[in-house]
Structure 1
Amino acid sequence: MEPERTPDGHFVIINGRRWRATDPEIPPEPAARLRSLLMAARRGVGAALRAQDAEAERAARARVHLAKTALGERGTPWWEQTAGERRQRWQDGLEELEAE
């Protein structure tokens, strides 16, 4: 089930809280890869916290930030970017995440 969206489509509403929506122009396959990498990074944060490894936590949180930025959920709002800027954002993020 899809979460509720604001009328402009820029945000989703989850448990009464507004969160920036993923860029809808990211093609399905790269978007799925980015979401998978985001979830792996979030699992890395949890593992680092359980291990009390501050360095690993910083690295995992940096990967979460990179994935969320690539998805358009952080950084310059995707609705303020050109199609080329949006494409470059997710391609660069995906390339960097997959290189690590």
Structure 2
Amino acid sequence: MVERYITINGRKWRATDPEIPEDAAARLRKALMSARRAVGAALRAGDGAAERAARGRVQEAKVALGERGTPWWEQSAGERRARWERGVRLLCPPD
């Protein structure tokens, strides 16, 4: 059985959708980390607009990975694929 949650430091978090191909998941994780760094930079700079934009990218990446939004185990295979493909289109520049 695929685990739906992971526990980190005693806190339960939704696991990434295991059906996302590894190359796409890696690109989405990279986009997530970039967005998180942008949140920190915006906070340090006191730039509210940049912070909101960066937090929006964090949200998009987390949804694309299946960690937020409709639980991936409640979605059809097509819905799951559409979710992560949209995230890759929005967040990941072409190689």
Q: Does 1 or 2 have the higher relative contact order (CA < 8 Å, sep 6+)?
A: 2
Contact 2:28 2:92 in 1 (8 A): no
* Deviations 1:58-94, CA, capped at 9 Å, x for gaps: 0000000000000000000000000010000000011
Partner Cα distance (2:19, 2:92) in 1: 20
Name structure 1 gaps, 5 residues minimum: 1-6
Of all paired residues, the percent bearing the same amino acid is 67
Identify which of 4, 23, 26 aligns with 2:20: 26
Question: Equivalents in 2 of 1:41, 1:49: separation in Å?
Answer: 12
The TM-score with structure 2 as length reference comes to 0.94
| Equivalent position of 1:58 in the other structure | 52
Gaps of 5+ in 2: none
User: Number of residues paired by the alignment?
Assistant: 93
2:51 partner amino acid: E
| Local SS of the residue matching 1:12 | strand
> Separation in 2 of the partners of 1:8 and 1:19?
14
| In structure 1, C-alpha distance between the alignment counterparts of 2:83 and 2:59, rounded to whole Å | 13
Partner of 1:36: 30
1:46 and 2:34 are equivalent in the alignment: no
In structure 1, what is the Cα distance between the partners aligned to 2:92 and 2:65?
A: 14
SS at match of 2:66: coil
- Measured on the aligned residues, the alpha-carbon RMSD in Å equals 1.2
Alpha-carbon spacing, 1:93–1:25, altered in 2? closer, same or farther (3 Å): same
- Cα displacement (A) at 1:53: 0.2
- Deviating beyond 6 angstroms after TM superposition, the runs of 4 or more aligned structure 1 residues are none
TM-score of the two chains, using structure 1 as the length reference: 0.90
